[in-house]
Structure 1
Amino acid sequence: MISRRQFTQTALSFAAACGLPAPFAQAQPAARVLRVVPQAEPLVFDPHQSQANVTSVHAAMVYDTLFSWDADMVPRPQMVETYSKSDDKLTYTFTLRPGLTFHDGSPVTTRDVIASLKRMFIRDTQNQIFAAALAGMEAVDDRTFTLKLKTPFNYVEFLLGGSNGIAGSIMREKEALTDPFTPIKEIVGSGPFKFNTAEYRAGSKIVYDKFAGYIPRKEPASGFAGGKVVKVDRVELNVMPDAAIAFGALQNGEVDFLDGPSLDLIPTVASNSNIVVGEVWPIETYAVLRFNHLHPPFNDLKARQAVAHAVNQADYMAAAYGDKKYWRECYGYWVCGSPNGTEIGSDAFRKPDLDKARQLLKESSYDGRPVILIGGSDIPAYQAMSMVTVDILKKVGFNVDLQLTDWGTAAARRAKKDPPAQGGWNIFHTSANGAQLASPLTSPSTITTCDGKNFVGWPCDQVEEDMRLEYIRESDPAKQKALVEKMHARLWEFLPYIPLGQFKQPFLWRKNVTGVVKANTLVYWNIEKT
């Protein structure tokens, strides 16, 4: 049987010989063009509409934020030149850097900033506590504005960039006034790259050009912070859903970078001296099985418990991430190894018990209707986890309807609250950068507000949410730690979702690419290609 690697090499040779219009049969790119295969194709380009990783990568290129997190998750001024706060900590005054310009040549003003923040506060689920503490914002002039609070809040600078460090993207006032639940129609930011609308080809290529009018900060690049110095003329995202084709293109020099590549093929390039196996995300992350709490059967705790008692993390990790050197079991909701990495409350779920799972399902209100599992077939790990879940659901006694699409389509669908049989869903799998997931403050996954504004799946548990609010308002580290442990035990009782294990995600690039920045999301400034 021909191997995936042999198939790739044969396909490359055949395409080159016959002149076929395959994405990998192209001329060697110029040194000033960085050609990337994205983890998946972004279909949502509005930074306030989605925090999916593919959307965040896009937003980090096109837009800028008032503050940005550095490599140590410390907020640093980005668009802000200077700021101060009153003695009572209720009034903040911010002045923008001079010369900030949108891609259409118009100046960035405080009208744009205030409108963007108002829109972000409505859509950013993790920022609702900040939004509730906000008394108002007012422009002093085109570069200076004030932000007033009802009560002191310790995380103003940290969350002004958005709860993932990017969702606070500043857009023109005309886009920012778009209904927060309606996608913007024009992609115009003030960030280091311009979205090339003319060359956008859905399903094939997304192009970003260097924005000549961008003025980087003087500090060195660190995470999302510091000087966003662009050292290439353009970045081209070449959509290649087939992992073998993407790896072949990298080996043959037709692309320069693979974002979040499939781990099972990394051994095929590990000994290639022209390819770097590197790290981008600063800490490990984890994969999850996410429930929809609005609709049967998983609005019933016993149905969620039935699934949780059938899960074997090792099965998921082995299927999705292969070699055990890349993964480990972890029963922490806030990332094992992080300051909040407790596993308290998980003991009952560490070994699968199918008999108990089947009994819980019988005790639940499940009526036999199909469980609709959505997922991304173009991300091998998500597809593999979906197949594992299909198997365990059937063993427990659920009927399953597996509906795999490209990840961009699945990520858009998961935001729908419609009944599963009418375009909604019951379960999906995902992963995200561990830095955001490592704290009750920033993790969207563990917010359990009952207002329907929290992260997709919309779990409602006011007991947990009240403890999270107490944690955020608490300034004593010892008391915060005790609250983390209480919250974590409660999460395993309530089961907003199921952690499936923790992993390291390598990234791949050719050795003539240097300057890759470690950040919570892949960024393309500071990168050189020789």
Structure 2
Amino acid sequence: MKRMLLAAGLAALMAGTSGIALAQTAGGGVLTVATIGEPPSLDVMQTPTDIVLTITQHIFETLYIYDAEWQPQPLLAADMPEISEDGLTYRIPLREGVTFHDGSAFDSADVVASLNRWMEINSKGRQVAEVIETIEADGDNAVVVTLNSRYSPLLATFSQGSPILPSETLGGELTDFIGTGPYRLQERRPDQYTQLVRFEDYVSPEGEPSNYAGRREAIADEIRFVPVPDANTRVEGLIAGQYDYADSLPVSAYERVEAAGNVEPVIFENAGWTSLNMNMAEGPLTDKALRQAVQVALNPSDMMLAAFSDERFFAVDGALFPEGFFWHTQAGVERYGEGDPEAAAALMEEAGYDGTPIRILTSRQYGFHYSTGEVAKAYLEAAGFAVDLQVVDWATLTTRRADKGQWDIFITHSNFPGDPTTLNTITDTYPGWYTSEAKSQAVAAFMNAVTNEERFTAWEGIQSVIYEDAPLVKVGNFNALGGLASGVSGYEPAYWPRFWNVAPRG
């Protein structure tokens, strides 16, 4: 969800995160933020959804956090870890002088207790627990993580949904939402608002702000997150002056927001990507040549234009990570272009396609999914496929896609994660059931990589294998629309909108 700038010398800027506390600047005022709905919980370990992360990132902090290239940088950690030669031991130094909202000091005991809870109750944490042998304190200001096998994404997993809380609060269900962040929880009234207020004793990391990394300053006295499930109500409330920021607006509202005079549209680039995921377990698309025929038959430009109408809101790019991400590469990108029915027909003949209809699942609840499906159907039929486009509600689609016998392609969208191993298609059990020896070897090479150079090379191998095996068709990247009140300063578009370093209207 973003075209980030590559920041030369970023590592040097971030190296001082263990150092001097930056004093909070009293700016005053309130920021009122209209969100897409009520968070089901503020326990982000238990419920790491976008709405929960958006709110709780102001309260809780993690050991590491993503910079502009979506690479982990120190947050509560004082520096990058010391890694043993065999890649199995990580010694993580911790920042000193940091306090929790209840006044208690942050130390290694809090890290150990928090990460142990995360590994018990969080789905990603449980996955990581399989490779973590121990997490132990090394004095008050360091922890040592020992692995039973190399695990390249370790720091990325410590950068999202794994907040550090006071060890004293972690017995049983979380009832006290106490963190080290620039804002603390003041009051939560379900379906009305979640009120955060400035934490006066906040100790910021150093370094220039870079996405979620770097200096954090609580300028506003208060941030009030208001659930507004109806998108049009968010638009009208923004224009009426009720909200300083409104999240996830329909792209059709762009001109209305732009013309209002007292607000401005905010486009967040590369908010996500759409894909057609193919069934590799049952049905005609178990044949690789036929999956490749689907790839070469489709026209991404026409599908994205039909889905988003306006070129300001999409980009056509076959790379699985967009430009500006550390992981962006064109390595292995094949059969991605303007649609070639003749080449598709040749692959279909090679596969011995017998005219069996290709069942495509899509939903009108995501309008861009439905529009993508309509165009895909036309291009596949032009290549010679028989197509059965099945339009169902999203709940039905997610139920059907779990049944290997009920579909051949389903249409969905995803965000761009900070680490390639969290892409759905990397997971063997994700609907589509993509497994191959080449994929296993490529993923193993990535897991065993230690340096960023090794990891990037391994990722190029994974992307190349994905294009060769053709478990999916990457359609394109799409942008998201938000709205900001005039006079609010310092806001930078982000996947999870963040409001430190942001000043309210005067």
> What TM-score does the superposition give when structure 2 sets the normalisation length?
0.72
Identity over the aligned pairs, expressed in percent?
A: 15
**CA deviation vs aligned residue, 1:313-362 (integer Å, no higher than 9, x gap):** 22332233322233231111222565632063422664164985998999
Look up the match of 2:228.
239
Point out where structure 2 has 5 or more consecutive residues left out of the alignment. 1-27
CA gap of 1:67–1:328, structure 2 versus 1, over 3 A, is closer
Look up the match of 2:387.
397
Query: Is 1:259 aligned to 2:247, yes or no?
Result: yes
- 1:196-207 → structure 2 map (5 Å cutoff): 198-201=188-191, 205-207=192-194
CA gap of 1:224–1:199, structure 2 versus 1, over 3 A, is same
Query: Is 1:170 aligned to 2:154, yes or no?
Result: no
Residue range with higher mean Cα deviation, 313-322 or 358-367: 358-367
CA gap of 1:40–1:361, structure 2 versus 1, over 3 A, is farther
Q: Give 1:92 shift.
A: 0.7
- 1:294-305 → structure 2 map (5 Å cutoff): 300=286
- Structure 2 distance, partners of 1:249, 1:529, is 17
Contact 1:65 1:78 in 2 (8 A): yes
Residue 161 of structure 2 aligns to which amino acid in structure 1? Answer: A
Look up the match of 2:264.
276
Residue 233 of structure 1 aligns to which amino acid in structure 2? Answer: E
- Structure 2 distance, partners of 1:35, 1:298, is 52
Look up the match of 2:485.
510
Contact 1:319 1:385 in 2 (8 A): no
Query: Is 1:346 aligned to 2:340, yes or no?
Result: no
Contact 2:279 2:431 in 1 (8 A): no
- Structure 2 distance, partners of 1:255, 1:265, is 16
- Structure 2 distance, partners of 1:173, 1:292, is 45
- 1:2-401 → structure 2 map (5 Å cutoff): 32-38=29-35, 42-43=39-40, 46-48=43-45, 52-73=49-70, 75-81=72-78, 85=82, 88=85, 90-101=89-100, 110-118=108-116, 120=118, 123=122, 134-140=132-138, 144-149=142-147, 158-159=155-156, 161-162=158-159, 166-171=160-165, 186=175, 188-190=177-179, 191-194=181-184, 198-201=188-191, 205-210=192-197, 212=199, 215-217=202-204, 219=206, 221-230=209-218, 231-243=220-232, 245-278=233-266, 284-289=270-275, 291=277, 300=286, 308=295, 311-336=298-323, 338=325, 340-342=328-330, 344-347=332-335, 350-351=338-339, 353=341, 356=345, 363=353, 373=362, 377=365, 382-389=366-373, 392=376, 396-398=386-388, 400-401=390-391
CA gap of 1:124–1:177, structure 2 versus 1, over 3 A, is farther
Helix, strand or coil at the partner of 2:225: strand
- Structure 2 distance, partners of 1:56, 1:464, is 31
Contact 2:152 2:449 in 1 (8 A): no
Residue 429 of structure 1 aligns to which amino acid in structure 2? Answer: T
Q: Give 1:134 shift.
A: 3.8
Contact 2:135 2:145 in 1 (8 A): yes
CA gap of 1:335–1:125, structure 2 versus 1, over 3 A, is farther
Contact 2:29 2:504 in 1 (8 A): yes
Q: Give 1:464 shift.
A: 2.0
- Structure 2 distance, partners of 1:414, 1:175, is 36
Q: Give 1:491 shift.
A: 0.8
Query: Is 1:499 aligned to 2:493, yes or no?
Result: no
CA gap of 1:66–1:461, structure 2 versus 1, over 3 A, is same
Point out where structure 1 has 5 or more consecutive residues left out of the alignment. 1-30, 179-183
Look up the match of 1:23.
none
Contact 1:172 1:188 in 2 (8 A): no
**CA deviation vs aligned residue, 1:404-437 (integer Å, no higher than 9, x gap):** 47xxxx9xx9699954899x9973522424xx36
Helix, strand or coil at the partner of 1:159: helix
- Structure 2 distance, partners of 1:174, 1:304, is 53
Residue 491 of structure 1 aligns to which amino acid in structure 2? Answer: I
Q: Give 1:402 shift.
A: 1.2
Count of residue correspondences: 462
Contact 2:33 2:246 in 1 (8 A): yes
Look up the match of 2:18.
none
- Structure 2 distance, partners of 1:296, 1:174, is 51
- Structure 1 distance, partners of 2:235, 2:252, is 11
CA gap of 1:186–1:329, structure 2 versus 1, over 3 A, is same
Q: Give 1:71 shift.
A: 3.4
**CA deviation vs aligned residue, 1:189-225 (integer Å, no higher than 9, x gap):** 4134455774111xxx442312536613153543222
Query: Is 1:430 aligned to 2:420, yes or no?
Result: no
- Structure 1 distance, partners of 2:491, 2:409, is 38
Q: Give 1:403 shift.
A: 0.8
Q: Give 1:309 shift.
A: 5.1
Helix, strand or coil at the partner of 2:249: coil
